[in-house]
Amino acid sequence: RCYGSDPAQVSAICVAVARGYLAEGVLPVVKHMPGHGRTTVDAHHDLPTVTASRDQLAALDFAPFRAVNDLPMAMTGHLIFTAYDDKHPATQSATMIRVIRDEIGFDGLLMTDDLNMQALTGDLSQRTGRPMAAGCDIALHCKGDLAEMQMVAAAAGVMTPAARLRATRALQARQIPDPIDIADLIADFSALMAEKIHG
């Protein structure tokens, strides 16, 4: 969930991890935009609130996301950023979706986090409709209950032309995995571990 506290170091790690995933045919999902590192509250159970200023968020929290803003997919976070919108979690906030699109510069497919998480209020139709109205491209529902999935599909509606374009671009970003030589990987790993242990 978190690669560290230094934005430059975190950005470098994010870029390297994303390149590795893409090279092996895996589409990474950047999450949780626009940042989840300042809170210890678990959105599965409660609504986290971030009280940092806009300047603090821009300098620290948003920086790693800007470094990977060209990746094909990202996920929103169910948390409030009081400096921007003290009433709606980012997933349901048009203001925060604009921050993701404009300040962070992400123009890939933007999905919600799981709509069944307790950070969100309202019935499932409301939990689905609010993010779609705010500007999310697709709604993520992880429970696997058919009646609930039908409710989510009805509330989400048809993908917008922009969302369809982003989904198409995301799928086109898939690559044929690079060939892997397991023996070489083991040798590289062993060398790295020996260097770490012995300096």
Instruction: Please report, for residues 7, 64, 109, 112, 167, the alpha-carbon distance to residue 161 in angstroms, rounded to integers and kept in the order given.
Output: 34, 28, 12, 18, 10
Residue of 61, 85, 113, 114 marked active site: 113
Beta-carbon neighbour count of residue 56 at 10 Å?
A: 14
Q: Which residues of 29-39 are buried (b: 16+ CB within 10 A; e: fewer)?
A: bbebbbbbbbb
44 is catalytic: yes
Residue of 6, 42, 44, 102 marked active site: 44
Please tell me the distance from the alpha carbon of residue 42 to that of residue 51, in angstroms, as a whole number: 16
Please tell me the distance from the alpha carbon of residue 21 to that of residue 174, in angstroms, as a whole number: 10
* Residues tagged active-site: 44, 113
